[in-house]
Chain A
Amino acid sequence: MNATDRLNVLKTYKLYVGGKFPRSESGRVYEVSDSKGKWLANAPLSSRKDARDAVVAARKAFGGWSGATAYNRGQILYRVAEMLEGRRDQFTREVADAEGLSKSKAAAVVDATIDRWVWYAGWTDKIAQVVGGGNPVAGPFFNLSSPEPTGVVAIVAPQESSFLGLVSVLAPVIATGNTAIVVASENSPLPALSLAEVLATSDVPGGVVNVLSGRTAEIAAPLAAHQDVNAIDLAGADEVLAKELEIAAADNLKRVLRPQPVDYAKTPGTDRLTAFLETKTVWHPTGSLGASGSSY
């Protein structure tokens, strides 16, 4: 049989919730096309119920993930980079289709994305030393300020940068011990749904990252209003939607990261790491003798 006659196997793209790959509970899908309008696949069109299920999964995973050692989280994130490297060609194809890039440009984007995972993998066990520390209290107390993850973070992923942008907003959230619900780019959700397959095979515990595809405004609204979501990253929301979501988020005082112009190609700073961290200060009496109080 001639190779050109072979019918290729199409992939059924699915959501990623609680470590499993369900279809949308609504049974709905929508057509995803490449930049020229050619049909690529049917992606799940998530419902509000899918969003709520994802919150339950993310909350359930929070204790274990935030309680894992920073070293362990770093290892797991690095493992994600390893897995991405192995699927480099697949992601290059998907990013090229999604963003209308040439093969070489798409490959460069995938390389940058893998490097970004590695960058954040290295942060897990360092951020506490950079933003935490002991405070020189004027009194017989020892106190220590440490960063802690804020909890469950909903992420409205960037619309244009379907892979590098996605990873640039997701990795810092989970590197710091939060769990995440990602609303993938509405028009280009396929790289995000494929990333889920990588996460599922990279020792990232189920529920730590949950990926939903569909209409951004429809999925993001219940997440912004959800009482068990602690923070929301509005990276991929337009001005009108971002304002609506920020107002909804005020209801339980979610931490809000507003959309801002970002060049995802540049090395990020620590702002996205610290945006989803709380600072806890623990006090304890010391008695009056300080460390240098000895006469020896």
Chain B
Amino acid sequence: MASVFEYAPAPESRAIADIAPSYGLFIDGEFVEAADGKVFKTVSPSTEEVLSEIAQAGSEDVDRAVKAARRAFEKWSALPGAERAKYLFRIARIIQERSRELAVLETLDNGKPIKETRDADLPLVAAHFFYYAGWADKLDHAGYGPNPRPLGVAGQVIPWNFPLLMLAWKIAPALATGNTVVLKPAETTPLSALFFADICRQAGLPKGVVNILPGYGDAGAALIAHPDVNKVAFTGSTAVGKEIARTVAGTRKKVTLELGGKGANIVFDDAPIDQAVEGIVNGIFFNQGQVCCAGSRLLVQESIQEELLDSLKRRLSTLRLGDPLDKNTDIGAINSEEQLTRITSLVEQGEAEGAERWSPACELPESGYWFAPTLFTNVTQAHRIARDEIFGPVLSVLTFRTPDEAVAKANNTPYGLSAGIWTEKGSRILAVANKLRAGVVWSNTFNKFDPTSPFGGYKESGFGREGGRHGLEAYLAPSSPEGER
């Protein structure tokens, strides 16, 4: 949409992130080639430019990395908590120092806007290491019994939507509690994890404590199934989560799963409309909607539907889509061609099932993977776009009349990760929040994260919590008076 005020381009310099033409796997403190010599390319989703060639981990590499982590475990777990804490504090500080470089890198590799990597991802990444650093020497006081023990080697598999943040969520509590780590980043976003390997080197972290294995799903599956892995942590799709739950069945492996969602964002008739509109936009268009806790179902009270949708459409028309490195960009690129295809197909199904599709006038760049912010009205609960996680910038709008109906519709999903409530009435916030079956409920705000706050889902959104004191439990063997475990 042509506007009175046009914005001049304000690109961040990409020279800040020095990307090497190739990277190895990070095993036992060294960058090494894959055992079978395989490599894959990582591309920038906004331009399709090849950024680097990455060694691709296979099962032999997984075995090597687990062995390295096992060797390192003995010393690392025996280290006084205060010493482990200092390593983590160092890492947190180095991340802060290098945060501009990492933000640019993440934007290049993932396609999300620089303002998000710079203002959301990186500060949170540093904060997570800082937070869990402080726990390392206080585990006796965490409420998991006296002298809680680490589990051993943690196998961690993370997704591409928040590559560095998910790394922080997994590695910080694992190291604080004395575990060692083998982490597999997603195949479309391996770079920041490899830069993190360099941060471990700068921090002087002992060899083998952190191992990074870029690769595909087969490497992740091999890691999770490895008999010498004691703890499995996964963030990703519900389908893969179920597969992992089957894989670990009958073993002693402890598991936490952070899976999909279909968050309901409930707007009552007394909500502050302008704030709600900002919250809705943040809820579904943050990171192009590629967020497991995205507010992808808007439940709006019938009496204000028209007013709210008018405001929302007006607001969407002002969103700027384009170069993720531009500091004024609101909507960046979709992470991969594969993901773009998935979004496109679900949106086409939405139209075919009779929902009404709307997008603001929006010019998409010629190269790269792009999808315009999209809104569906006339959506029913039976529509696939109201049930399946789309993981893209697509909002489905449903209506309700009473709070009970809002709760019933919000809970009508196998997922249970997040929900939002917009109302000026405090008692209604508490009453509705109480009835929502979701691990995180934002009232009069959305998509807020903090290392002190446990995050995780009910039902098929997975089990376990990350963040806060609760996040430690996943990495500790409980010292139960019932007996040895």
Residues of A within 8 A of B (CB): 130-131, 135-139, 141, 143, 145, 150, 230, 239, 242-243, 246-247, 249-253, 255-256, 258, 260-264, 266-269, 271-272, 278-285
Query: Known: A145-B453, A253-B241, A253-B242. Contact between A280 and B441, CB under 8 A?
Result: yes
Closest 6 CB pairs of A and B: A243-B250, A250-B245, A246-B249, A135-B452, A137-B450, A247-B249
Q: A137 to B238, alpha carbons, bound, how many Å?
A: 29
Total A-B contacts with CB atoms under 8 angstroms apart = 129
Instruction: Tell me whether A253 and B433 are in contact (CB under 8 A).
Output: no
Which residues from B are CB-within-8-Å of A136?
452
Interface of B (DSSP majority class): loop
Q: A136 to B468, alpha carbons, bound, how many Å?
A: 10
Which residues from A are CB-within-8-Å of B429?
284
B344 at the interface (CB under 8 A from A): no
Instruction: Tell me whether B250 and A135 are in contact (CB under 8 A).
Output: no
Binding stretch for chain A, among B19-27, B318-326, B351-359, B477-485: B477-485
B257 at the interface (CB under 8 A from A): yes
Instruction: Tell me whether A253 and B482 are in contact (CB under 8 A).
Output: no
Instruction: Tell me whether B246 and A250 are in contact (CB under 8 A).
Output: yes
- B448 CB, min distance to chain A CBs, angstroms: 5
* Size of the chain B interface, CB-CB below 8 angstroms: 48
- B53 CB, min distance to chain A CBs, angstroms: 36
Write out, one digit per residue, whether chain B residues 428-445 have a CB within 8 A of any chain A CB (1) or not (0): 010001001011111111
B462 at the interface (CB under 8 A from A): yes
Instruction: Tell me whether B478 and A252 are in contact (CB under 8 A).
Output: no
Q: A239 to B249, alpha carbons, bound, how many Å?
A: 11
Instruction: Tell me whether B452 and A250 are in contact (CB under 8 A).
Output: no
Query: Known: A139-B450, A246-B250, A247-B246. Contact between A280 and B439, CB under 8 A?
Result: yes
Q: A278 to B257, alpha carbons, bound, how many Å?
A: 13
Q: A261 to B252, alpha carbons, bound, how many Å?
A: 13
Which residues from A are CB-within-8-Å of B445?
141, 283-285
Which residue from B145, B441, B452, B463 sits with its C-beta under 8 Å from A253?
A: B463
Which residue from B246, B440, B465, B468 sits with its C-beta under 8 Å from A283?
A: B440
B391 at the interface (CB under 8 A from A): no
B9 at the interface (CB under 8 A from A): no
Q: A264 to B259, alpha carbons, bound, how many Å?
A: 35
Using CB atoms, name the residue of chain B closest to A246: B249
Instruction: Tell me whether A239 and B481 are in contact (CB under 8 A).
Output: no
Residues of B within 8 A of A (CB): 127, 143, 145, 238, 241-243, 245-246, 249-250, 252, 257, 259, 414, 429, 433, 436, 438-445, 448, 450, 452-456, 458-460, 462-463, 465, 468, 470, 478, 480-485
Using CB atoms, name the residue of chain B closest to A230: B459
Query: Known: A135-B450, A279-B456, A282-B441. Contact between A250 and B483, CB under 8 A?
Result: no
Give me 4 other A-B pairs in contact (C-beta within 8 A), A249-B249, A256-B249, A272-B482 excluded.
A139-B450, A262-B482, A268-B481, A271-B478
Which residues from B are CB-within-8-Å of A242?
250
Using CB atoms, name the residue of chain A closest to B482: A262
Q: A267 to B453, alpha carbons, bound, how many Å?
A: 31
Could you say which of B478, B481, B482 has the most chain A C-beta atoms within 10 Å of its C-beta? B482
Could you say which of A243, A252, A282 has the most chain B C-beta atoms within 10 Å of its C-beta? A282
Instruction: Tell me whether A268 and B454 are in contact (CB under 8 A).
Output: no
Query: Known: A252-B414, A281-B441. Contact between A261 and B453, CB under 8 A?
Result: no
Query: Known: A137-B453, A239-B250. Contact between A252 and B481, CB under 8 A?
Result: no
Query: Known: A268-B482, A279-B454, A283-B442. Contact between A253 and B250, CB under 8 A?
Result: no
- A65 CB, min distance to chain B CBs, angstroms: 15
Instruction: Tell me whether B463 and A255 are in contact (CB under 8 A).
Output: yes
Q: A167 to B481, alpha carbons, bound, how many Å?
A: 17
Which residues from B are CB-within-8-Å of A272?
482
Which residue from A250, A252, A266, A279 sits with its C-beta under 8 Å from B249?
A: A250
